[in-house]
Amino acid sequence: MTLTLNVVVLWLVYFFLLPDTMSGQVFVQRMVLGSGISLVLGLVICWLRTQADLRPTTQLQAQAGSQAQKQISHSKSTLAKEHQEKINELAAPFLLHESHELQTSVEGEAEDDERVGQLFGNYRVVQLLGKGGFAKVYLGEHLHLEKHLAAIKVLRPELPYKFKVDFLNEAQCSLELRHPHIVRFIDFGVKEGIPFLIMEYLVNGTMRTRHPKGSCIPIETVVSYAKQIANALQYLHEQKLVHRDVKPENILLGARGELLLSDFGIMVEAHSTGSLVEQGFAGTVAYMAPEQIQKLPRSASDQYALGVIIYEWLCGTHPFENVEGPPFADRNLKMQYHHLQTPPPALHDQFSSISYAVERVVLKALEKDPKDRWTSVQAFATALEQANQHTSVTVRIPSLRRPSLLSSEQPLTTDHPPSKDDSTSIK
């Protein structure tokens, strides 16, 4: 309609501009030419009007789009805020004094002295015992019970609330654990927004202080140690829990020389092979099983860690301490590579006093595939004890994949290396 109106108006203008005197033939030619010009000009005018009409529409669309984007961002911000509020509600006891969280290392050192004399529950801080990346441990004396001492584990105040929630999880799990080879936890509380955990004080220190790196321990002693730690780990596994940080520093010595497992800060729920849940990367790399490095820890991961510890105790070095491999600038990356790819060196080759039967039991616990390890950590400790007790025993041990070791039907004795003509047995 608009185009037709434009053409008619233009044609009329053209018609009135024609001269009055001209022949009929010229008049027809001029009329045809005028109609064509009117049509072209009408199209141009229509296009210009269309552009003029579209410009406000485009601006409105842009404004609407911008408004919608703002609404979406606002919705996301609102959801994130609500999620944050839920998390803060969970960690509310720890967030009461955020002003204490941002402290420099110098202030942290000064705080160690300031803590002396402070009260945590029914215990008064006597002195600093030690500190790590996440917490500091103080010696505490009971206010009312004379000479009753305890260790007070206090989370570093500068850590984010996530660590405080994890600390709460450790406290809840730890206080429910009851086992003769697990450190006894006494109480949990929050002081000025900082969570703390009170546990029994073990004056004899850790297995790392008792047996520093490079120490070789007699096999009889190692077997006794293995049975105690395996007993504690088996208890955890039966509770559907995985420790994830079994190492000498987390094994304490009791008053009667017994071993006690400690530090359950990164313990997680165990899952079956068919329902494994990816966890965060946590643990001490030197003792991490291949599947734990891949963030899929399970009960067999603790068995692997105990296997590394026993290997160290027997020969004085970590299985991969002196193993050649691709050059890595980072020591942790190198260790991860060996855990994932490198078979551990044979124990007997390093110390001839270590029997082949014991070697085989330990190396089985260090298999890369968790399915190839012992059926349980308790079975591992039992096999180690039996291998040490007998020079020739008869238990079927599935073959390892190391080419130098035996198949499940081949014999093994403690006085000569494995060969195809040997006959084995561990009871």
420/15 Cα distance (integer angstroms): 117
**Residue 214 identity:** G
Which residues are tagged catalytic?
A: 245
SS3 content of the chain, % helix, strand, coil (to 5): 50, 10, 40
Residue with tokens 């093994």: 412
State the Cα–Cα distance between residues 165 and 373, nearest whole angstrom: 34
Catalogue the E-assigned strands of 30-182.
Answer: 119-120, 123-131, 135-142, 149-155
What CA–CA distance (Å, rounded) separates 288 from 268? 15
Burial class (CB in 10 A: 0-12, 13-18, 19+), 223: buried
**Spatial CA neighbour of 222 closest among 123, 152, 312:** 312
Q: How many CA atoms lie less than 13 Å away from 88 in the CB half-sphere?
A: 10
Closest CA to 301 of 268, 264, 258: 268
Amino acid at 276: L
β-partners of residue 259 are 253
Residues 6+ apart with CB under 8 A from 90: 165
Compute how many other C-beta atoms are within 10 angstroms of the C-beta atom of residue 118: 16
356, 358, 361, 367: CA torsion to nearest 10: -70
| Tokens, residue 329 | 């600038």
The C-alpha atoms of residue 232 and residue 267 are separated, in whole angstroms, by: 14
Which residues touch 61 (CB under 8 Å, ≥6 apart)? none
Span between the terminal Cα atoms of the chain, in Å: 103
